[in-house]
């Protein structure tokens, strides 16, 4: 063998070793990929077992009119019981970044901020031309699942410039609007039911995670308006966080319900004082809310600003006036929640506010609140009646909704060695109260003077007391609505009631 032959032989052996290494690496990678896909499939099966309408779907990215690229990403697709409602399609936030959508994750990791350039033209809202002429950052819920954060793409075409379609092999194709023009995307109707006429009922829907599939729930003909707790003032600069969803609104509309998105101040007094002193912050807030109202197809806004300093009363009224006048350009209805009149709640200029908004919701509950110094009813009839009559001195009855609770409190009174009684409470739904009553073998006692049932039992030296909210107490509140010819009733909150309550409300409407 010549020197040249030996060199070739050594070279061949080196190439052979390298080929083996490459083969081993590829084999390991393939095994890992199989494991990952298996884990994802397993997780998808587990998710489907928990929610039969949810599944994981592989994402393809459309790169031209005729070509797509498979991505390593999966979407969470949540169908609805009513197949005509567009599904919620959650995609990883990193996919949006890779597709050049100007999105970033807030420090809290609760929201994605998406920048909308020239929002007045992009979202077709003329009022934004002055308040936010160049750009607007909108914050949408970041859904946490499987160790990743996801963004709901449904109905976000104007915001992201992206849309999606399902391929025959049940993959999800995501692309920019020009590239997806030949492919069917979600059909968003955004047709609102008629405005409430005569006496009507509203129910608040407390949302902390995924929105409920309203199409899977029994249609409640007694409810004309549903108000999901979607929006919150994040800081004194006017930033707004959203947990909204287009599909939720479509489901409500299909059931004949209007949707009034609730926006709160986070019940932060110091933040609210700073916010109400800054007109630029208020403009940013209003711009955010108008944008969200247009995106979701809302029918109205419910303002729930609580824990407001009394000295900020006039500023709150001026803000509500500015917000309402601007929002009316989109045809939105406006309501504001107020407490029962008292020295500590003079932040609400009820008479002036009633001249501004369409409706005022009187939160006639928490007579005895969570940390109350003594046990008692959440909303006894005499207390509700007195608060209502005081409110009617400032608010026309045709603009007033009487708020009623679907919850109550269980009070625990424990006597210590020194004879002093310590007091604790917890909020209970109507169904939970029924369970407590059944488990402890106690009977309800009707208290005529306060218009409620009452139960009491003892356990281990602790006395438990419940002033019960049920169909009997709700019926008496509805009698007040009819007696005073109010606009209607409002209930806190959906999910805390027992099914028989809706029959009580329906009978009162008749």
| Residue 503 vs residues 223, 385, 451, 474, 475: alpha-carbon distances, Å | 12, 23, 19, 11, 10
pLDDT tier, 22 (very low <50, low <70, confident <90, very high otherwise): very low
Does residue 101 surpass a pLDDT of 60? Answer: yes
Helices 313-327 and 269-276, packing angle to 10 deg: 70
pLDDT tier, 13 (very low <50, low <70, confident <90, very high otherwise): very low
CA distance 510 to 505: 9
If we measure between CA atoms, which residue out of 407, 366, 411, 401 comes closest to residue 477?
A: 401
Cβ neighbours of residue 447 under 8 Å, at least 6 residues apart? 453, 454, 467
Beta strands 258-264 and 225-228, pairing class: parallel
Token pair, residue 414, equals 């424990």
CA distance 18 to 491: 72
Amino acid 184: pLDDT = 78
CA distance 175 to 423: 58
Sign of CA pseudo-dihedral 447, 450, 454, 456: negative
- Alpha helix locations (H) across 164-278? 246-254, 269-276
Cβ neighbours of residue 95 under 8 Å, at least 6 residues apart? 59, 61, 71, 73, 174
Q: What is the pLDDT of residues 223-236, one digit of tens each?
A: 999 999 999 999 99
Q: Find the helix or strand (DSSP H, E) in which 89 lies.
A: strand 88-92
CA distance 44 to 54: 8
- pLDDT, averaged across the chain: 91
- Residue 427 near residue 378, CB atoms below 8 Å: no
pLDDT tier, 355 (very low <50, low <70, confident <90, very high otherwise): very high
The DSSP annotation for 120-189 comes to HHHTT-TTHHHHSSSEEEEEEE-EEETTEEEEE-TT-HHHHSEEEEE-TTS-EEEEETTTTTTS------
Does residue 190 surpass a pLDDT of 90? Answer: no
The DSSP annotation for 325-358 comes to HHHGGGT-EEEEEEEPP-GGGTT--HHHHHTTSS
Q: Residue 139: CA atoms inside 13 Å, Cβ hemisphere, count?
A: 20
Q: What is the pLDDT of residues 285-325, one digit of tens each?
A: 999 999 999 999 999 999 999 999 999 999 999 999 999 99
Beta strands 333-339 and 359-363, pairing class: parallel
Q: Find the helix or strand (DSSP H, E) in which 288 lies.
A: helix 279-296
If we measure between CA atoms, which residue out of 203, 192, 259 comes closest to residue 231?
A: 259
CA distance 495 to 36: 38
Q: What is the pLDDT of residues 366-425, one digit of tens each?
A: 999 999 999 999 999 999 999 999 999 999 999 999 999 999 999 999 998 888 999 999
pLDDT tier, 18 (very low <50, low <70, confident <90, very high otherwise): low
Token pair, residue 136, equals 């607007």
Cβ neighbours of residue 144 under 8 Å, at least 6 residues apart? 109, 150
Token pair, residue 264, equals 């709160």
pTM for the predicted model, two decimal places: 0.90
Cβ neighbours of residue 283 under 8 Å, at least 6 residues apart? 131, 132, 238
Beta strands in 161-286 (DSSP E): 162-166, 172-176, 200-205, 225-228, 231-233, 240-242, 258-264
Share of the chain above pLDDT 70, in %: 90
Does residue 47 surpass a pLDDT of 50? Answer: no
Phi, psi of 345, deg, nearest 5: -120, 30
Q: What is the pLDDT of residues 256-293, one digit of tens each?
A: 999 999 999 999 999 999 999 999 999 999 999 999 99
Token pair, residue 251, equals 């489901």
Q: ∠ at Cα 57 (53, 60), nearest 5°?
A: 145
Residue count of the chain, please give it: 510
CA distance 488 to 469: 19
CA distance 305 to 65: 49
pLDDT tier, 202 (very low <50, low <70, confident <90, very high otherwise): very high
Phi, psi of 359, deg, nearest 5: -145, 150
């Amino acid at each position: 063998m010549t020197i040249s032959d030996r060199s070739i032989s050594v070279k061949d052996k080196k190439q052979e070793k390298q080929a083996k290494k490459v083969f081993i690496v590829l084999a390991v990678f393939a095994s890992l990929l199989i494991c990952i896909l298996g884990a994802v499939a397993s997780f998808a099966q587990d998710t489907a077992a928990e929610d039969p309408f949810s599944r994981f779907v592989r994402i393809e990215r459309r790169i031209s009119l005729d070509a797509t690229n498979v991505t390593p990403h999966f979407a969470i697709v949540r169908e609805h019981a009513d197949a005509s409602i567009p599904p919620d399609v959650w995609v990883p936030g990193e996919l949006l970044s890779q597709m050049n959508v100007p999105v970033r994750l807030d420090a809290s990791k609760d929201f994605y901020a998406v920048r909308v350039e020239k929002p007045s033209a992009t979202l077709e809202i003329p009022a934004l031309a002055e308040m936010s002429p160049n750009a607007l950052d909108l914050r949408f819920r970041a859904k946490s699942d499987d160790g990743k954060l996801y963004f709901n793409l449904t109905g976000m075409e104007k915001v992201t410039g992206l849309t999606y379609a399902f391929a025959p092999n049940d993959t999800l194709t995501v692309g920019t609007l020009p590239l997806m023009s030949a492919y069917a995307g979600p059909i968003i109707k955004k047709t609102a039911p008629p405005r409430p006429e005569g006496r009507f009922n509203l129910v608040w829907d407390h949302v902390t995670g995924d929105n409920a599939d309203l199409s899977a729930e029994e249609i409640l003909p007694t409810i004309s308006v549903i108000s999901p707790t979607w929006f919150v003032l994040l800081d004194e600069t006017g930033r707004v966080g959203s947990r909204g969803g287009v599909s939720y609104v479509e489901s409500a509309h299909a059931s004949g319900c209007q949707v009034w998105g609730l926006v709160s101040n986070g019940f932060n007094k110091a933040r609210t004082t700073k916010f109400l002193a800054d007109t630029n912050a208020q403009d940013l807030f209003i711009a955010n809310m108008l944008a969200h109202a247009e995106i979701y197809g809302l029918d109205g806004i419910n303002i729930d600003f609580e824990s407001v300093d009394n000295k900020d009363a006039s500023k709150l009224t001026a803000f509500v006036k500015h917000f309402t006048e601007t929002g009316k350009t989109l045809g939105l209805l406006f309501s504001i929640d107020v407490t029962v009149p008292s020295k500590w709640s003079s932040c609400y200029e009820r008479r002036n506010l009633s001249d501004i908004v369409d409706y005022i919701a009187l939160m006639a509950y928490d007579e005895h609140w969570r940390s109350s110094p003594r046990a008692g009813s959440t909303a006894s009839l005499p207390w509700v009646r007195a608060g209502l009559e005081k409110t009617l001195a400032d608010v026309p009855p045709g603009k007033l909704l009487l708020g009623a609770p679907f919850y109550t409190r269980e009070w625990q009174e424990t006597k210590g060695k020194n004879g002093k009684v310590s007091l604790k409470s917890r909020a209970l739904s109507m169904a939970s109260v029924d369970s407590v009553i059944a488990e402890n073998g106690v009977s309800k006692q009707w208290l005529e003077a306060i218009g409620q049932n009452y139960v009491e039992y003892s356990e281990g030296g602790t006395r438990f007391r419940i002033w019960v909210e049920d169909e009997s107490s709700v019926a008496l509140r509805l009698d007040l609505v009819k007696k005073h010819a109010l606009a209607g009733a409002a209930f806190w909150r959906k999910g805390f009631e027992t099914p028989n309550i809706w029959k009580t409300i329906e009978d009162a409407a008749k």
